[in-house]
A and B are shown apart, each in its own frame.
Chain A
Amino acid sequence: AQSVTQLDSQVPVFEEAPVELRCNYSSSVSVYLFWYVQYPNQGLQLLLKYLSGSTLVKGINGFEAEFNKSQTSFHLRKPSVHISDTAEYFCAVTTIKAAGNKLTFGGGTRVLVKP
C-alpha cells in the first residue's frame, strides 16, 4: 500500500513571495504523482502530474513540482503567489500497474496568502 505525507498543514505566505509545499510518499512499487488544488467550496482541480521523463513538471497557474525518487518527494513550488492562490493543496499518488486508478491523497496543506 502507498501513503502520502504533506508535512505542513498550513502555510501562511505574503503576496508575491515564493511558496513551497512539501510532499513525501511511501510505496513499494513505482507511482505516478499528482498535485490538486481545492478552492473554497469547490471540487478539486489538477495542477500538475508526473508520469515519467523530466523530473521537473510545470503545471497551471505558474506552479511547478520536482520529483525526487531517492528522497521519495514531490514538492510543489510557485515563485510568486497571488491572493487568488489561497486554497487547499493536495498531493496524491497512484501505483503505475494498479488495476483501476485509485488516488491516495495526503492530508492537504492550506495556503493563506496575505496582502
Chain B
Amino acid sequence: DSGVTQTPKHLITATGQRVTLRCSPRSGDLSVYWYQQSLDQGLQFLIQYYNGEERAKGNILERFSAQQFPDLHSELNLSSLELGDSALYFCASSPRQGGSQETQYFGPGTRLLVL
C-alpha cells in the first residue's frame, strides 16, 4: 500500500458524459501527478501539480482538466467522453516540489470504461 488513495476504483459511463476522478496523496506529499494507461497508448503522463499550482503538462487532452485543492487532494475531470478514453487512470504523489529526482508513489488506479 503506497498511501495514495484513488476513488472510485471502477467507473462505467456513456459517451458524451463527464466524470471526476479523485486522488488523495500520501500524508505530507505536496506534488500530485496523473497518468493514463491504455492498451494502445501505454502509460502516459498527463499533468503534475505542486502545492496547488500546475507544474508540468503532458499529453492531456483539452477535454480533460485537473486541479489540486488546498488540502492537497486532486481531481481529474474528463468531459465529452469518447470510447477511446477508456483506460486506467493513475494518480501518484511525491514529497516535495516534484523535481525529477523524486520517487513517485502510485495509487491503485481508477478503471474507466466508456460505453
Interface residues of A, Cβ cutoff 8 Å to B: 32, 36, 41-46, 49, 51, 90, 94-108
Contacts and interface: CB of A to CB of B under 8 A. Distances in A.
B86 interface: no
B93 to A, nearest CB: 11
Contacts of B48: 100-102
Contact residues on B (Cβ < 8 Å of other chain), bracket: 20 to 34
B43 A101 contact: no
B90 A44 contact: yes
Contacts, number: 64
Interface in B1-57: 2, 4, 31, 33, 35, 42-45, 48, 50, 55-56
Interface string B62-106: 000000000000000000000000000010101000111111111
A96 B106 CA distance: 21
A41 B4 CA distance: 15
B2 A98 contact: no
